[in-house]
Amino acid sequence: MTNHWSDIQNADLILIMGGNAAEAHPCGFKWVTEAKAHNKARLIVVDPRFNRSASVADLYAPIRTGTDIAFLGGLINYLLENDKIQHEYVRNYTDLPLIVREGFGFENGLFDGYDAERRGYPDKSTWNYEIGPDGYALTDPTLSHPRCVYQLLRAHYSRYTPELVSSICGTPQDLMLKVWEAVAETSAPGKVMTIMYALGWTQHTVGSQMIRCGAMVQLLLGNIGMPGGGMNALRGHSNIQGLTDLGLLSNLLPGYLTLPRDTEQDYAAYIAGRAPRPLRPNQLSYWQYYERFHVSLMKAWFGPNATVENNWAYDWLPKLDIPGYDVLKVFDMMYEGQINGYFCQGFNPIGSFPNKAKVSAALSRLKYLVVMDPLQTETAEFWRNAGEHNDVDTAAIQTTVFRLPTTCFAEENGALVNSGRWLQWHWKAGDPPGLARTDVHIMAGLYHRLRELYLSEGGVFPDPILGLHWNYARPDEPSAEEIAMEYSGKALTNLTDPNTGAVEVRAGEQLAGFGQLRADGSTACGCWIWSGSWTQQGNQMARRDNADPFGMGQTLGWAWAWPANRRILYNRASARPDGQPWDPVKKRLVWWNGTRWAGTDVPDFKLDSPPEEGMSPFIMTPEGTARFFAVDMMAEGPFPEHYEPFETPIGRNPLHPDNPLARSNPAARVFKNDMELFGTAEEFPYAATTYRLTEHFHFWTKHCRLNAITQPEQFVEIGEALASELGIAAGDRVKVSSNRGYIKAVAVVTKRIRPLTVDGRTVHHVGIPLHWGFSGLAKNGFITNTLTPFVGDGNTQTPEFKSFLVNVEKA
């Protein structure tokens, strides 16, 4: 979230799209209720299902799954054509005036430089700004240059007419226009909409671009950086945010630093490529300090063994030959027999990954599998024959599986990061059952055994293993407190003020924040964005002052938010260019007080930069502005374009009906043999989508008695029209099949899913909750992801769980 849960109370309008907070994040949804009750806010829900969020909305609009870019692209067109944009905001804080290189173009659904063979854009050189002789990007403040971002944006979305959008999305045109009109009202300075989205946007082959498209709407309206505004990703699990911040992803390092590629053999070039100089005068371009963050990380990991001579142990980091070994790639390699060992730490991939048959076959080809979990999981028992629910040949599966019991939240100290980026400390209340251990204890145990093995018998490249800095009081089980102090960071030598020579931080002391990090090896910090979470004053994450002196819900004394305890990102944009809030009464967040930036939140800005200096609020980009034009950062193009799900119920992209290359995401990766497993509408006519229920959490709560009582049995949701067409009555058992397999479940026949008219035909949706499997206290069932396709988003590789095709018949 750019903002946070309690800040939703400051919204004037709430758009829930690609999520269902009332059911998936119930206690966070209370802030929507609060905004409605005390701020006269209105709620709009756009979703294929009339869900519980929709049931309390002021306006609900149905939409076909996977078509959100068409809806939002149409909205962008509507805002531009009706002049409903926040002019001063977009001119000063976004890239609309910047000029794009000559040669950039878009034709028949594809941007320039497309290579159909490689399914991508190997040459993105024109997807960038025109740079002037002074090294700065060229701009046209009048927005009239034909290649300025404003003109390109306008031309790109002019194709998204209400008629065409309605025909793609199946949203009735009058309803769609009502939504657009309501949204457009928040273009008035000081009127604010928030967007709340979740996996309903991420889990598509164009998921990242859906989210970008939402962010573009918010920028046009001037809603980013505002209290009650922002782009608010409602993360699905309690510490997904924290584990992402810590970089537990194939290509990342902690704090959104990135691993080097093979081609980056030179350390200085690696840093230079990630530390951009400002692209416009007087801009901060905060990533220019990349080396400070990187060196401090390497000092935290490798201690005295990371030195200036060995480039801070640069060669000890693995290098990537491809963009990343994401889970789809790894399970495809496993399926091909290229992976021998696999670890699952609190994760149940056979339930959570698409195409269970492929995942199961892949796991069967492992030599060893290690599962660490507090609970039984289907993954640990993928080899067990559970009849129709898991019909495998146990004796033929030669994988050795270790199942290690771990503690749960109640049995350990530590911090979790909620969606609002709050790091909240928690304390152990009791002992774990039996012999269960913490994950830290297990990882330390494995590390020490490997270290001993490499010391005693040698082996391949032991340097980073033997050189790892492991200076904990109990090496076999480092404490949560020691680890937290390590990621927050400390001084290794006395840090002095370069001007006065005065000692600012003494050697060994905790740092106050990332502003104190150095690139010379004198600081160690395991996650720069979390620097300041444990200072000399102690554990900031354990703070419990819930005072809210401005009555805006910012509670700066409660826990600690990254970065620098800022509660709302880009909050400089909540003030006009002259430094005063757009709305000084209800939306005051930060302002220039004559000598510095101050406010009700920690300013996300250079504190002493006066408004006259013209520094823009988006301090992380080299140009200082937010981007409508994503330059070369996205796989499928700088502007979001609607592409159909890989399994589309209409078989063509109405925007480009004659170009099969532009039907589905042209830059999404598809593995060998998976293309053949996509189904067609002729055989599988219904648009299916998967989701959670309020009463269950993933595959955990079917092991909890109360939850198993409240939702005991697997079901699917079918609209009344489809049910009557198929002769299915409520309570009948049905078989739902895709081209990859089938599940059987009880049919819930509902008014909440209605047929939509799309591209001249009728499209029915089938809703499939996620939570069942072949072990638990609830009635055993099928794994829903038996049905889903093995293809991911073009950038993140997040699987397309939200849009695929099925057939339904009486079981």
Partner 1 sequence: MDMNRRQFFKVCGVGLGASSLAALGMAPPPAYAESIRHFKLAHTRETRNTCPYCSVGCGLILYSQGSGGKNVSQEIIHIEGDSDHPVNRGTLCPKGAGLLDFVHSPHRLTQPEVREPGSDTWTPISWDDALDRIARLMKDDRDANFIERNEQGQTVNRWLSTGFLAASASSNESGYITHKVVRALGMLGFDNQARV
d(CA 199, CA 310): 42
Site for partner 1 in 675-734 (CB under 8 A): 694-697, 700-701, 703-707, 710
Q: Which is nearer to partner 1, 26 or 141 (CB)?
A: 26
Instruction: Report the nearest approach of partner 1 to the CB of residue 232 (Å).
Output: 11
Enter the tokens of residue 496: 């002095």
Q: Give least dist CB 414 to partner 1, A.
A: 3
* Part of the chain binding partner 1 (CB under 8 A), chosen from 41-49, 145-153, 593-601, 770-778: 770-778
Q: Which is nearer to partner 1, 86 or 208 (CB)?
A: 208
Q: Cβ closer to partner 1: 131 or 446?
A: 446
Letters for 83-112 (x = contact with partner 1 by CB under 8 A, - = none) are ------------------------------
Helix (H, G, I), strand (E, B) or coil at 35: helix
Tell the smallest beta-carbon distance from residue 138 to partner 1 (Å).
37
645 interacts with partner 1 by CB under 8 A: no
Could you tell me the smallest distance in angstroms from the CB atom of residue 609 to partner 1?
A: 31
Cβ atoms 708, 752 nearer than 8 A: no
Structure tokens at 479: 């404490």
CA angle 331, 333, 335 (to 5 degrees): 70
In the complex with partner 1, the residue whose CB is nearer, 155 or 453, is: 453
Query: CA 23, CA 1: separation in Å to the nearest integer?
Result: 18
CA 66, CA 59: separation in Å to the nearest integer?
A: 20
H or E element: which one contains 592?
strand 590-592
Nearer to partner 1, 59 or 777 (CB): 777
Give strand pairing partners of 738: 741
Q: Using CB under 8 A, which residues numbered 433 to 462 contact partner 1?
A: 433-440, 442-447, 449-450, 453-454, 459-461
Count of CB atoms situated within 10 Å of the CB of 288? 15
DSSP-based three-state secondary structure for 185: helix
- 187 or 803: CB nearest partner 1: 803
- Please give the Cα distance from 573 to 550 (Å, whole number): 19
Pairing of strands 741-750, 715-719: parallel
CB atoms near residue 474 (< 10 Å): 10
Show contacts with partner 1 in window 301-360 (CB under 8 A): 301, 315-321, 324-327, 329-330, 333-334, 338-347, 349, 352-353
How far is Cα 66 from Cα 688, in angstroms, rounded to an integer?
A: 10
Contact 730, 749 (CB under 8 A): yes
Taking the least distance from each CB to partner 1, the nearer of 553 and 767 is 553
Strand partners, 505: 495
- Distance between CA atoms of 561 and 31, rounded to whole angstroms? 19
Among 3, 53, 258, 555, binds partner 1 (CB under 8 A): 555
- Does position 779 interact with partner 1 (CB under 8 A)? The reply is no
Minimum separation from the CB atom of position 268 to partner 1 (A): 15
Residue (334 or 668) nearer to partner 1, CB: 334
Q: Note whether 470 and 319 are within 8 A (CB).
A: no
Contacts with partner 1 in 150-189 (CB under 8 A)?
none
Among 161, 250, 750, 762, binds partner 1 (CB under 8 A): 250
- Report the sign of the C-alpha dihedral through residues 751, 679, 198, 169, in that order: negative
Q: Is 384 an interacting residue with respect to partner 1 (CB under 8 A)?
A: yes
Query: Between residues 416 and 766, which has the closer beta carbon with respect to partner 1?
Result: 416
d(CA 81, CA 519): 49
Please give the C-alpha separations between residue 598 and each of 228, 551, 575, 576, in angstroms, as whole numbers.
19, 17, 11, 14
**232, β-bridge pairs:** 196
Tell me the window of 255-263, 277-285, 490-498, 683-691 that interacts with partner 1 (CB under 8 A). Answer: 255-263
Q: What separation, in Å, do the N-terminal and C-terminal C-alpha atoms of the chain show?
A: 43
Nearer to partner 1, 26 or 515 (CB): 26
Residue 585: name the closest of 224, 191, 193 by CA: 191
What is the 8-class DSSP label of residue 802? S
**# residues near partner 1 by CB under 8 A:** 167
Stretch that binds partner 1, among 18-26, 585-593, 600-608, 730-738 (CB under 8 A): 18-26
- Contacting partner 1 within 23-42 (CB under 8 A): 24-28, 30-31
Of 112-120, 162-170, 287-295, 381-389, which part binds partner 1 (CB under 8 A)?
A: 381-389
Binding of partner 1 by 387 (CB under 8 A): no
Task: Pick the binder of partner 1 from 178, 428, 586, 754 (CB under 8 A).
Answer: 428
Neighbours of 125 (CB within 10 A): 11
User: Of residues 572-611, which lie at the interface with partner 1 (CB under 8 A)?
Assistant: none
Structure tokens at 730: 């409520």
Options 410, 455, 633, 675; binder of partner 1; rule CB under 8 A: 410
Tokens of 50: 């009339």
Binding residues among 190-219 for partner 1 as defined by CB under 8 A: 203
Q: Is 248 in the site for partner 1 (CB under 8 A)?
A: yes
Among 61, 76, 100, 480, binds partner 1 (CB under 8 A): 480
